[in-house]
């Protein structure tokens, strides 16, 4: 008979890690709107009725500063790294006979 001494099962740890990853991504999404001056963003002022911000990657009302692009790509890269770490963690755990029972 095996006594379980773990605080949480592997599935619970995985779920908690994924929830934390996405919750953090949602919280970080509020940062650019609050720190426009820090990122060097400038409000786009159209020259005429038909002009648009064609250089706008995501936000048409603002022209992003250099720091904003750095922040954006940093968040994307960190997200990809975390997804890869979760996949590697699952792969390593699936090799154990006690982990991730199906």
Considering the domain boundaries, does residue 19 fall inside one? yes
Structurally, the chain folds into a number of domains equal to 1
Q: Which domain holds residue 80?
A: 10-44+54-95
Considering the domain boundaries, does residue 1 fall inside one? no
Please work out, in degrees rounded to the nearest 5, the angle formed at the alpha carbon of residue 25 by the alpha carbons of 100 and 88: 30
pLDDT at residue 95 tops 60: yes
Alpha-carbon span 33 to 86, nearest angstrom: 30
Token representation of residue 94: 């699936």
The closest of 51, 50, 71, 53 to 61, measured between CA atoms, is 53
Considering the domain boundaries, does residue 39 fall inside one? yes
Q: What mean pLDDT value characterizes the chain?
A: 76
Q: What is the pTM of this model?
A: 0.62
pLDDT given at position 47: 66
Q: Which residues contact 16 (CB under 8 A, 6 or more apart)?
A: 8
CA 75 to chain centre: 5
More confident position, 16 or 10: 16
Considering the domain boundaries, does residue 24 fall inside one? yes
Alpha-carbon span 73 to 3, nearest angstrom: 45
Q: Read off the pLDDT of each residue in 15-22 and give the average, rounded to a whole number.
A: 87
Q: Read off the pLDDT of each residue in 54-73 and give the average, rounded to a whole number.
A: 76
Considering the domain boundaries, does residue 49 fall inside one? no
């Amino acid at each position: 008979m095996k006594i379980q001494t773990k605080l949480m099962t592997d599935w619970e740890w995985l779920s908690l890690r994924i929830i934390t990853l996405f919750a953090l991504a949602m919280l970080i999404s509020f940062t650019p709107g609050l720190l426009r001056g820090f990122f060097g963003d400038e409000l786009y002022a159209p020259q005429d009725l038909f002009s648009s911000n064609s250089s706008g990657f995501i936000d048409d009302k603002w022209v992003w500063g250099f720091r904003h692009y750095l922040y954006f790509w940093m968040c994307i890269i960190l997200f990809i790294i975390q997804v890869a770490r979760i996949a590697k963690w699952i792969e390593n755990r699936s090799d154990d006979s006690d982990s991730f029972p199906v």
